[in-house]
Each structure stands twice: as C-alpha cells, then as structure tokens.
Structure 1
C-alpha cells in the first residue's frame, strides 16, 4: 500500500496555505469516489471493449457520428449519463469549493461534464468539455437543461424546429470552446502560485500544458493520482492517492483541530 513520504502532505498543505492564486486541474478520477466510472481507465465503463456496433467509444462518441447517426452517439451518451445519475460531490469536490471560499483566486479547469464541482459550490470553474445535462439544438438556437435523460426519446427532437438535440459537450473530433480556452489563458496570464493536477491522466495537451508551463516558470506543481500519468515525472510533489482521501488529509492539515 502506498504511503506518502514523511512530511509530504504537510509540504503540499503549506504550498496551498501560502498560495493566493491556485489552478486545480481535474479529470474523471476526482469523480470516482462519487461512484462515477472513469470510462477508459482500468475497470472503466469502456475499458478494452467495443460497442455493439463494433466501434471504439471514440468513434461512437464523435462529432461525425452525432451528425451522421445521432441515434448511435446518443445511445452511448445516455449510457454514460445513466451511470452518472444521482451522483453527488465527494470530499475532494467539497474541499476544492471550500478552498475557493477561503481564497478567491482558486480556479478549476475540469474535463468532467458531470457538474459536480458546481454542485459542491465552486464558482470559478472552466468546464472545458461542457455539461452533459445542458442540451442544444443542432439546427437552431434552442437550448434547455434537463435533470436526467430518463424521460427523453433518443435522439430527442427540438421542440422549436424539430432538429436533433444534443448535449452541450465536446465530442471526439470537435474543437474546444474558445471561451473556455480564453478564460484559461487569462488565468495563466494573471499568474498563479500553484498548479494542482487531480485525477487526470493529462493525456490531452491542453490539460498537461498548464503543468508544463508551471514547471518551466518555476511555479510549484502537485499531482494527486494513484496511477502514472503524462506529468508524473515533472511535478514537484506526487501523491499516489485517491482524490477524496488526499484532499481530506490536506484539509485536515490546513485546519488542525
């Protein structure tokens, strides 16, 4: 069983205590303690298996598939949503929200579409991949939010023009939202005192990029992830722990009884 080296949790807590502006980058691993699958990770929803159409999940959940065969894309979007339904923020989400309340310079860049950071109370969240429960029409400007997909016919039709509704998320092969990229650039331009990567493999350049930027700029970096990732070898502190356990222990050091 992994045990952090003596004093490492204290060192990470001290970095947070002394920082005013913190960028926290999160991925599917932070929501694992809320019961959500990591999709493509070990034991994930689509780990080493194809869809019933013989497609990879990247093919099934692509923008091209949504355009050509929305019923296929929607089948797997709905499967993922069903596995997320009813999930609540866990201790890691709650600690991050509490940190923002203490330090208004805390920002979250998340790949997750589950909105758990906002449910926990975080306000400064860049949801770079969108929100699964916010739908938009592919033909007109109609948008709506839904609590879940249980009552939807798939693919759902737009009540205004009859076009296909789709979740307002970034599918494989689609461009990232410029507004989110601009907001991230602004956060980095303003300067940060600490970059934390939590529960993400950092496989995408825009997720690993801020960690590499911090390393080159001399800004301290912390990774919380049980497994090896694309940034594990360059961070200053690597906690091979689950997000909820690590953040709970860090919070306890920031607020000793």
Structure 2
C-alpha cells in the first residue's frame, strides 16, 4: 500500500504538471474558516425542526420564499449571522494563487460563502450562487453586501419596492443555466486534472466531472477525511482537511523555495 508521503508527492506532481485543472469544492474547504458544514449551514438545524415547526429544507425553499419571504429571510439571516466575520483560509488562497500562475485553473464550488472570490479566484463557477449577492424578485436590480447586519428583513428593493432575495439556489429550485453551461463547456474542452475537495459528491453535477475524467483516463484527486460518492474511483486519495493538504502540496511543488521566516 502506498504511504501517505508517497500519495502527497504523487498529487503534488500532478498539480505541478497540469495546465487545465478543475477544483471542485464543498463545505469542507470552508470548515477551516469556522463555517459549519451541514449543507453549507452546518449542524444548525440538523435532525430537528426550526422553531416554526418546519424542516430547514421547507423554510429555505423557493416555494416558501415566494409565499412567505419573511420566514425564509428569518433563517437566511440567522445562518449569515452564524458565519459573519469568517474569512477565506489558506486552501482558498492557494487555489487562487495557482490560478494566477496558470490561467487554466478553474473552481466549481457548491459553497455560497463567496470565499473563493474573496481569495482572488476569477475562473469561478458558483453553482449554488452567492449569499451576499442580492437580486430583486420584481425587477432587474441587484446589489452585493458584505453582511446582513442592520438590514431590514425581508429587504425591499430601492428601485421598485419588491422583495430582494439572495442570488442562491434555494431548495426545490433549478440550477442557474449559465453556470451549468459554463461547467459543461469546461469539461467538454478537456482537463488535465480534477481535484475534489471537501464535498461528499452526492449531487450528480458535482460528481459528474470526476466520473467523466475517470472514464477519459484523466487523473483525479480527492481531498477529504471521510468516504464519499467518488472515493472508489479517484486516482489519488488524501484523507486530510483542505487547510492541511493544500499547504503541504504547495510546499512539495516548490522544494527549492526558501522557507518564510
């Protein structure tokens, strides 16, 4: 059986050689920033109903946003407050640095925290949207906010007075067409390496690029402490947290660089 050190060396070698890389990230990459991990909102409501007697999936559904926006916003604001003040961590930073080195590095993320964008990633597909980007449900007005502190709930559009909502995919809603098309075009154009980080890969569109790469003979990597839907097919597995693995890989890709003092 290959040692942990050998696996790190092998993955670092793949990263050093690949020009077109897709990083697929889930809640696990933001866990080291202090964010909870249950469907992007941690265990806030895990295995219990909200105080309104609803599951969190019901409260945060597109249907509920349309019918009772104040209720959906109540829980959106609670979730945002629990994550306020968190920042991108070293794993986000290293992925952004790799993109600056070679333009063919892309990120597909399920996370709505915006950390990849804050870290500097620009080749970014936020497949579930961004919690801090708001759009009006009645007119084209949109805006971005650093946090929800002091915000009226539900917020009203300053242009038409309609209800604003986060530009995220709520339960029961379809994925954004533009994001899906960008992902499909990226995969069809060809990749040298696919790296899955901190996601259980239960959604077909998250596991899909890994499965496609496996079928095409393209190397794949999984960075996750636990077992996932793609663990059995990836080329290399690192049972590590993202903030542990990425700095170690970065160091091995640059063995001649002096250590920072």
Q: TM-score range by the shorter chain?
A: over 0.9
Label 1:112 to 1:217 Cα distance change in 2 as closer, same or farther (>3 A).
same
DSSP 3-state at the match of 1:94 = helix
Tell me the equivalent position of 2:115.
116
DSSP 3-state at the match of 1:108 = strand
Shift of 1:47: 2.1
Tell me the equivalent position of 2:95.
96
Residues 97-118 of structure 1: CA deviation (Å, up to 9, x unaligned): 1111112100000011111111
Please list, as runs of the form range in 1=range in 2, the aligned pairs for 1:104-253 lying within 5 A after superposition. Answer: 104-253=103-252
Of the structure 1 ranges 116-125 and 37-46, higher mean CA displacement relative to structure 2 is found in 37-46
Are the equivalent residues in 1 in contact too, given 2:27–2:39 (CA < 8 A)? no
TM-score (norm 2): 0.94
Unpaired segments ≥5 residues, structure 2: none
Tell me the equivalent position of 2:35.
36
Are the equivalent residues in 1 in contact too, given 2:35–2:42 (CA < 8 A)? no
RMSD: 1.6
| Alpha-carbon distance in structure 2 between the residues aligned to 1:4 and 1:72 | 51
Residues 138-171 of structure 1: CA deviation (Å, up to 9, x unaligned): 1111111112111111111112222111001110
| Alpha-carbon distance in structure 1 between the residues aligned to 2:40 and 2:118 | 24
| Alpha-carbon distance in structure 2 between the residues aligned to 1:242 and 1:228 | 13
| Alpha-carbon distance in structure 1 between the residues aligned to 2:183 and 2:54 | 33
Are the equivalent residues in 2 in contact too, given 1:110–1:128 (CA < 8 A)? yes
Shift of 1:46: 2.5
Residues 182-240 of structure 1: CA deviation (Å, up to 9, x unaligned): 11111112110000000111111100111111111111110011111111111111111
Tell me the equivalent position of 2:76.
77
| Alpha-carbon distance in structure 1 between the residues aligned to 2:14 and 2:44 | 35
Are the equivalent residues in 2 in contact too, given 1:40–1:47 (CA < 8 A)? no
Unpaired segments ≥5 residues, structure 1: none
| Alpha-carbon distance in structure 2 between the residues aligned to 1:209 and 1:137 | 32
DSSP 3-state at the match of 1:75 = helix
